[in-house]
Structure 1
């Protein structure tokens, strides 16, 4: 079967509509260039004279020739950003979260992607162990920057052991090649007590600092362990004392870097501060939140969004009882914010749930499951009018939790209560202030070509 991008939506009045493209059409090649992903498509469509090979759903192929303005967009969306198989991870890392997923779940949860294209497009972290000279040449030629690199440690022997592959030892050589290609990158360390912390972390920090200006940031997150760690390398998590030690160690480097460059450069995930019971850094210490999608600064960003969101409270005429769902680690922060609201007749209860599905050591909101939510809501059912679900617990673009329960399952379990989804602090605050009039629109995951070679999902 020919590779290509399958069209999932067409914008009204667009070039795609003018060309009479339809849903299900597959764009195979442009000007005889085979398309392997949305990146190829973007650069190929930058030309003004186009010959586009299309395959229709019935298998018939045709060539459509047309002219377009150099900055004219196609106006089509695609089922996937990668036209074919996503490049999967060949490592067997000590700390791999996929290896800790419960058995008999949907197939997509067991896919270990390690695809540099998804790193460029969506900020997915990659180890670079499956990349060769052709990949580096393409990254250089198309200037696919920035990338997001999982470093974990710059000690070659230790990295090879932690990733369980000899190619893991090449990290500093690979980063040097990105430097030579003028490609910028953000880096991360999954910190494992007794392995890559302490002196090894100091070494990693020093090495990544030496790769500036191409190395833009270093994010450090604690290893996450679930109760499904069967036949995995024995690891332990950080306790409050260990988290405090990491904060102190990293603070030394942050202060040093801020004096030298005006930025911290190194950033710790929220879990370290919440576990240690230490105050979160101020918003300005995150320097624009460059690793927000990596869970670094999420809590501070949430607090800042909440503070900046102005509301006109609709003081309710009769009591309104709402339950707000979140993970254990976020509970105290959200409760403190909600308690500051002064809205007549609003009773907002923050339910910070223990993660029964993955285990109590998993405390982040994004890993809550549908069955745990339903169970806890049934145990706290008294006088409830509505339920607020965090969108981060749902699969991107879909109303599905990690355990394959759906948002509809929640609604069916509580037919007399209104269920709404809060995507961020802005939506949560507005829902609390004007529950009856705020609608929550859920968007699907789509992939859109843009003529300026930037990408959206």
Structure 2
């Protein structure tokens, strides 16, 4: 039993658990005779007002604790970073997998391919469902683990088996129907590869998934990302401008049908398709309730709307002259150039925009979030940066000052001999530039 249940790492003072004498090092095995496999089991089972908790203490004693509490009252237990146990990894070998295109010798976490339905529910990770058994589908339904975020790519069974290189991948529609019948909300994506799952196959995918509305609540169509590290992998190319425009037009045709039917658009082309096609970014109404911003759907529109608000408060003149440099990737260059042009209308302010090509992953990768510290250094070395450098925070690991290549903001400052500021969104960018 020593490896079963959840290991308690902390107990909140004055909580129910503290009153019962539970301590770090004890292990919670069950609640109401049901095994506690992970934090989701725990959250689901403690919703009852009367509990019987099975505990194995750090000293090896088996306890059975009877608890009465309010419906929403927590026990005061913390299970630390291992509250899910081992993360379920991906068993697919997708022809377009970005992890397979990573550069060698990077930090180990960049090579992890998670495919865990629990993390899809808990933090919005996309999953394929290829490693989910029927009893786990029933658990999802029973514990109401929604919404889920599911990588469908295609609803053609044979094509999906081929694209994911997994013989279990073809039953996706049966799985989605089962989840939909159980009332689980789902958001889906299709990573499009030219000549593979676009065109008529994309239309089939849109139609099939729309047939499960409203449980399948949205579908994001995004272009495949290709790096220069594809030796030995399936031959795939990027979309041309004309092909991207065709995807945008097809999606728009379906959106209009769904709007007329449900007053909800359902399917969205990602921002990258609009940028590739050199089409205007749609207004906020296009994105309804913005269900897939983490998938690059509507982020540019949110940026523009925030910029328009920030622009209203721009001064006519700086209190003291200032020169700053901003960095962007290739795909967002035209957007940021308009922002820089407007800022340069402020007397005493000079804003330079530097577009950084992605030499690390290859110049087919154009999104800003995949720029590395070294590419930024290479692009700016020898340039007059001015008073400080502004970087978008998307180039850094969440809540850390570390780039994909493990360089830090401090490294950039040291190499370029200039202060560096990482900003999130237009408002913070403007505040940083105008700060006294």
Instruction: Verify: 1:93 aligned to 2:94, yes or no.
Output: yes
Question: Helix, strand or coil: the match of 1:321?
Answer: strand
- Residues 153 and 191 in structure 2, CA contact (< 8 A), matched pair in contact too: yes
Question: What are the equivalent positions in structure 2 for 1:200-279 lying under 5 Å apart?
Answer: 200-279=201-280
Instruction: Verify: 1:329 aligned to 2:360, yes or no.
Output: no
- Alpha-carbon offset, residue 38 of structure 1: 2.4
Q: Which has the larger radius of gyration?
A: 2
- Residues 325 and 385 in structure 2, CA contact (< 8 A), matched pair in contact too: no
Q: Quickly say closer, same or farther: Cα 1:410–1:290, change in 2 above 3 A.
A: same
- Residues 4 and 84 in structure 1, CA contact (< 8 A), matched pair in contact too: no
- Which residue number corresponds to residue 357 of structure 1? 360
> For the residues of structure 1 that align with 2:424 and 2:413, how far apart are their CA atoms?
18
> For the residues of structure 2 that align with 1:198 and 1:272, how far apart are their CA atoms?
14
- Residues 191 and 197 in structure 1, CA contact (< 8 A), matched pair in contact too: yes
> For the residues of structure 2 that align with 1:234 and 1:354, how far apart are their CA atoms?
23
- Which residue number corresponds to residue 403 of structure 1? 405
- Alpha-carbon offset, residue 47 of structure 1: 3.8
Question: What are the equivalent positions in structure 2 for 1:149-160 lying under 5 Å apart?
Answer: 149-160=150-161
Aligned CA RMSD, in angstroms, stands at 2.9
Question: What are the equivalent positions in structure 2 for 1:57-456 lying under 5 Å apart?
Answer: 68-73=69-74, 79-80=80-81, 82-309=83-310, 311=313, 313=315, 316-341=318-343, 342-380=345-383, 382-414=384-416, 416-434=417-435, 436=436
Question: Helix, strand or coil: the match of 1:113?
Answer: coil
Q: Quickly say closer, same or farther: Cα 1:314–1:53, change in 2 above 3 A.
A: farther
- Residues 367 and 393 in structure 1, CA contact (< 8 A), matched pair in contact too: yes
Question: Helix, strand or coil: the match of 1:119?
Answer: helix
- Residues 311 and 430 in structure 1, CA contact (< 8 A), matched pair in contact too: no
- Alpha-carbon offset, residue 98 of structure 1: 0.5
> For the residues of structure 1 that align with 2:402 and 2:228, how far apart are their CA atoms?
22
- Residues 5 and 79 in structure 1, CA contact (< 8 A), matched pair in contact too: no
> For the residues of structure 2 that align with 1:10 and 1:364, how far apart are their CA atoms?
43
Question: Helix, strand or coil: the match of 2:333?
Answer: helix
Question: Helix, strand or coil: the match of 1:144?
Answer: coil
Question: Helix, strand or coil: the match of 1:300?
Answer: helix
User: Which deviates more from structure 2 when the two are superposed, residues 287-296 or residues 39-48?
Assistant: 39-48
Q: Quickly say closer, same or farther: Cα 1:72–1:224, change in 2 above 3 A.
A: same
Q: Quickly say closer, same or farther: Cα 1:11–1:400, change in 2 above 3 A.
A: farther
Unaligned runs of 5+ in 1: 437-457
> For the residues of structure 1 that align with 2:290 and 2:334, how far apart are their CA atoms?
22
> For the residues of structure 2 that align with 1:344 and 1:16, how far apart are their CA atoms?
62
- Which residue number corresponds to residue 450 of structure 1? none
Instruction: Verify: 1:29 aligned to 2:29, yes or no.
Output: yes
- Alpha-carbon offset, residue 212 of structure 1: 1.2
Q: Quickly say closer, same or farther: Cα 1:5–1:157, change in 2 above 3 A.
A: same
Q: Quickly say closer, same or farther: Cα 1:160–1:259, change in 2 above 3 A.
A: same
> For the residues of structure 2 that align with 1:419 and 1:239, how far apart are their CA atoms?
35
Post-superposition Cα deviations, 1:95-130, rounded to whole Å, max 9, x if no partner, equal 000100001111111111111111111211111100
- Residues 92 and 163 in structure 1, CA contact (< 8 A), matched pair in contact too: yes
Question: Helix, strand or coil: the match of 2:155?
Answer: coil
Q: Quickly say closer, same or farther: Cα 1:358–1:19, change in 2 above 3 A.
A: farther
User: Which deviates more from structure 2 when the two are superposed, residues 37-46 or residues 147-156?
Assistant: 37-46
> For the residues of structure 2 that align with 1:167 and 1:383, how far apart are their CA atoms?
53
- Residues 120 and 145 in structure 1, CA contact (< 8 A), matched pair in contact too: yes
> For the residues of structure 1 that align with 2:8 and 2:168, how far apart are their CA atoms?
37
> For the residues of structure 2 that align with 1:388 and 1:214, how far apart are their CA atoms?
42
- Residues 117 and 129 in structure 2, CA contact (< 8 A), matched pair in contact too: yes
Higher RCO, 1 vs 2 (CA within 8 Å, ≥6 residues apart): 1
- Residues 150 and 189 in structure 1, CA contact (< 8 A), matched pair in contact too: yes
